[in-house]
Structure 1
């Protein structure tokens, strides 16, 4: 499941991933991403993994690649979670290589939120 949370910057998409992600989960954030892009801003994504178990592969990659079309419009990605997900998260976000990607441990959530909103 992908839960959308609230961070007060107009160009930040904040999510918490738990359990297994599906295509439907990523579809939830498309309107938010497009709203940011329509304002002429670059997207910043706070992606927290809490009791995360991976993803249902069927359809997920196809849907995810829609956002890769906007790879140059991603500015920062904060990945927050247990160390065991670091390699997966790095590979998952690899298509967004133009973005500055930073990994934070579970005890660094506040630091990640400050970083994602900072200039």
Structure 2
């Protein structure tokens, strides 16, 4: 039986800037990344000159298939200079470690959190 997996993306305005929220569920696939790529690209084009803050919720994330792992790296490399702050919301040591590794690929500030209210508070400062 195949398990449910997806990536969702939401965008909202925050004091003239952009807040993007991602939620990864299950074992993410290449098709999941392709489903959100146009949304991400469009939001980033519309936000030129704005600070882009990102909340990445991986509390229900179980990993990637091989192609999706590459998609994740490519996304980070292609948009490494676009993000002002990235808050990773997780609940495990491997997610905390992955968030630290992710810092190598982005210019903006990135932090790991286990409480959503703390993550949002830090993002909005």
* TM-score, reference length from structure 2: 0.73
- Flag structure 2 segments of 5+ consecutive residues without an equivalent: 1-5
Instruction: Report the count of equivalent residues.
Output: 115
SS at 1:30 equivalent: helix
Consecutive aligned runs of 4 or more in structure 1 exceeding 4 Å deviation? 5-8
1:45 aligns to 2:42 (yes or no): no
The reply to whether residue 110 of structure 1 matches residue 117 of structure 2 is: yes
Which residue of structure 1 lines up, in the alignment, with residue 92 of structure 2? 83
Query: Deviations 1:30-68 (Å, cap 9, x if unpaired)?
Result: 334333432312432100112221111125414641441
2:11/2:18 contact within 8 Å kept: no
Closer, same or farther: CA 23–6 of 1 in aligned 2, 3 Å:
same
| Structure 1 residues 4-19: aligned runs within 5 Å | 4-5=9-10, 7-9=12-14, 10-19=17-26
Q: CA deviation at 1:93?
A: 4.7
TM-score by length of 1: 0.76
Q: Secondary structure at the match of 2:84?
A: strand
Q: Is the 8 A contact 1:13 1:32 kept in 2?
A: no
Q: Would the aligned equivalents of 2:85 and 2:123 in 1 still touch at CA under 8 Å? A: yes
The answer on whether the counterparts of 2:19 and 2:52 sit within 8 Å (CA) in structure 1 is yes
Query: Which runs of 5 or more structure 1 residues have no equivalent in the other structure?
Result: none
Give the conservation status (yes or no) of the 8 Å contact 1:12–1:43. yes
Return the index of the structure with the highest Cα Rg: 2
In the alignment, is the contact (CA less than 8 A) between 1:16 and 1:48 conserved in 2?
yes
